[in-house]
Amino acid sequence: MVVWILVLAGSVATPSVAAFSLYRGGLAGGLPPRRSARVAAIFGVVWAAWVGASAALAANDVYHDPDAAVPWLGIAMFGAFVAALLAARIPVLARILAASATTSRSAWPHAVRVLGVLFLIAMAEGTLPAAFALPAGLGDMAAGVGALLLARRWTSRRAIWLNVFGLADLVVAVTLGLLGGLTTHQVLTLSPSTAALSLLPLALIPTAVVPLDAALHVLSLARLRRETRSAAVPAVSS
């Protein structure tokens, strides 16, 4: 029950905080409050619909089918990630993401990752292996604490480190999950396997939470890179 509550909390809180950051970004970008709220609401509804759809797929064992020829969980995870990146190219969203202090607002959803303690709880219950739960859980918690600290004192250097660490944590967790039992042929001999990540409630993490977090990291790093280059040009000229 505790794992269910924490997974649902993370699946709701992450897109909700992201929607709020879009609203604030819209105001910073010069959009009227009503339009900013509309953009944030549409994003929240669309991502909530995907969370519900992914939950339905997991409930029908679409992700947990050892005989399936198609890795549906991987497709769902990668598809949601690509969709989030492509959505950032929509003109109104591109304008919001180009507004001032975008990178600091993009870090807000990562604070929810302190709920990564759920992996440690699942490990204690015997649902997930320690080889996966420890790096994934502790890494998420560290990223969440880092996001909270960054919100109090933001610098571009700290933002870069947070996004690099957070993205690396997700890559490590996804790799361990895939090798530990989410693929047709288990590469790593873990006991128990990571197959529980393809079942409810944990399936919502790789299919709905991880793609959004990863997309935010990629977009933030791209924005920070542009800001660093822009700051370097005047310095070189002077």
pLDDT of residue 231: 65
Q: Convert the pLDDT of each residue in 98-127 to its tens digit.
A: 888 888 899 999 999 999 999 999 999 999
User: Can you give the pTM of this predicted structure?
Assistant: 0.93
Residue 233 has pLDDT above 70, yes or no: no
The domain spans of the chain are 2-237
Structure tokens, 30: 């010069």
Q: Convert the pLDDT of each residue in 152-172 to its tens digit.
A: 888 888 999 999 999 999 999
Indicate the pLDDT class of residue 68, thresholds 50, 70 and 90.
confident
Instruction: Count Cβ neighbours within 10 Å for each residue of 13-49 and write b for 16 or more, e otherwise.
Output: bbbbbbbebbbbbbbbbebeeeebbebbeebbeebbe
What is the rounded (10 degree) CA torsion for 42, 46, 51, 52? 100
Q: How many helices (H) and strands (E) does the chain have?
A: 10, 0
**Do the beta carbons of residue 207 and residue 54 sit within 8 Å?**
yes
pLDDT of residue 141: 98
User: Mean per-residue pLDDT for 26-53?
Assistant: 96
Residue showing tokens 């991502």: 47
pLDDT of residue 209: 97
Residue 145 has pLDDT above 80, yes or no: yes
User: Mean per-residue pLDDT for 58-79?
Assistant: 88
Residue % of the chain over a pLDDT of 90: 78
Residue 199: is it exposed, middle or buried by C-beta count within 10 angstroms (0-12/13-18/19+)? middle
Considering only CA atoms, which of 48, 40, 37, 39 is closest in space to residue 13? 48
Q: Convert the pLDDT of each residue in 156-215 to its tens digit.
A: 889 999 999 999 999 999 999 999 988 767 788 888 999 999 999 999 999 999 999 999
